[in-house]
Amino acid sequence: MTPRDGSTGTDVLVIGGGPGGYVAAIRAAQRDLDVTLVEKDAYGGTCLNHGCIPSKAFITAADVAHDADNAAGMGIHADPTVDMAALADWKDGVVDQLTSGVEKLCKANQVTLLEGTATFADDHTARVAHGDDGETATVEFEDCIVATGSRPIEIPGFSFADEDVWASRDALAAEERPDELVVVGAGYIGMELSTMFAKLGTDVTVVEMLDSALPAYDDDITRVVRSRAADLGVDFQFGEGASEWRESGEGIEVVTETEAGETATYGADKVLVAVGREPVTDTLKLDAIGLEPDDTGFLAIDDHARTDLDHIYAVGDVAGEPMLAHKASAEGIVAAETIAGESVALDHQAIPAAVFTDPEIGTVGLTESEAVEAGVDPVVGEMPMRASGRALTMNESEGFVRLVGDGETGRLVGAQVVAPEASELIAEAGLAIELGATIDEVADTIHTHPTLSEATMEAAENALGQAIHTLNR
């Protein structure tokens, strides 16, 4: 587009360089659109810089240390020590390699990169403020994709500005391991980091207002993960909400309270608050374009990632649950393709999710109860990992693979995996759902032996009542 004097013009303005934003920018550029991407912090967003990637790096290192320290049953004796500073340097190297890759890919695809914070001036104009120097650039656009992501939720009395109060970002930047850690929240972030620190040798106490960990998952899944965490030394305190913290000697004390008004106090070096994340919309000046978040704080979108304004799109965490990087990328592609005039739409029937606990959790599609609620007569098959030869050789035999099928059509409609490498195993089920595969077809697919993936085949056979390596239902 042709801009007014003193401004820059672009076909597509993308606000936010996370997995939704940079993917949208690259795809739009591949469709011969002029694209400008604005990022205020670091390319790759929270996931790459402060979330998904650094946490998995730390989790992998913690697994190595813990496995080495607990391999006596295999005849291997070791006494590993963890150099947290060196571990942090290695993690930072991984992150730097990936972030530089994102920047290079954007430039290679002719995406114009601007550093700063973007705010709307009117329906087709944004202003980009550059850091603390006060400089502002004006960008005129035809279409805009908002990909501003999310931030951790603060709770009263626990400010992330305080040195002793950690958000997940702070925990993943630590260069020293706390001897004692209180974690507020037993959702997926709290459980991943609790398990990680416990494996590194930290005494971990988890405080959760609800009566269970990972409340979004079925009890038989959470039971496996919670039991394993307890074996690692994680101390769960359910039905307690964190009310305040205070300095105490060389550490801190975290005070909790039950609904009945009973209080308890837990000593620690740090407190990690992991009670969820909230979308970032307040930085955009949405009132300038007459756009408001919905009742849940998100920007509502249609199946083309379009907001209530036809030329304004939203992708990723800012556009609603689930807050997953791969969901953001998929939405970014749909938004870019739609702007380019392609006939595409979002398809949320098979968005996989993974929790990197011990063992991992992987899910896609419908659970058995969700299938019933959707009017499906489900057929269910399950394979316990204790019957998996490969799992036993890995000394990791907790959990199972469960498949949920439509009893009328035979099609696979969901899968739940709690097992080693569940984050990888769930991909097969996701592909099967997308392709409309049946339980029979999954069962008839020859799987490599000995592998963890055989459990998927056996679960399908179990659903058909003809499993070989486990008892049929």
Contact 77, 71 (CB under 8 A): yes
The CA-atom distances, in angstroms, between 384 and each of 256, 447, 458 are 38, 17, 9
DSSP 298-361: S----TTSB-SSTTEEE-GGGG-SS--HHHHHHHHHHHHHHHTT-------TT--EEE-SSSEE
**Residue 187 DSSP symbol:** S
The H or E element that residue 252 is part of is strand 251-257
Catalytic residue among 304, 326, 348, 449: 449
Q: For 51-81, b where at least 16 C-beta lie within 10 A, e where not — what string?
A: bbbbbbbbbebbeebbbebeeeeeeeeeeee
φ, ψ of residue 46 in degrees (nearest 5): -60, -45
At 428, which helix (H) or strand (E)? helix 422-435
Residue 449 falls in the annotated catalytic set: yes
Query: Contact 116/38 with Cβ under 8 angstroms?
Result: yes
- Alpha-carbon distance of 85 to 374, in angstroms, equals 50
d(Cα 127, Cα 202) in Å, to the nearest integer?
Answer: 46
Angle of the 84-108 helix axis to the 52-69 helix axis, nearest 10: 140
Neighbour-count burial of 141, counting CB atoms closer than 10 A to its CB (0-12 exposed, 13-18 middle, 19+ buried): buried
Instruction: State how far the Cα of 192 lies from the Cα of 214, in Å rounded to an integer.
Output: 10
For the residues of 205-233, what is the DSSP string, one character each?
A: EEEESSSSSSTTS-HHHHHHHHHHHHHTT
Closest CA to 101 of 39, 42, 181: 42
DSSP assignments along 24-82, one per residue: HHHHHHHTT--EEEEESS-TTHHHHHHSHHHHHHHHHHHHHHHHHHT-GGGT-------
Return the active site residues.
449
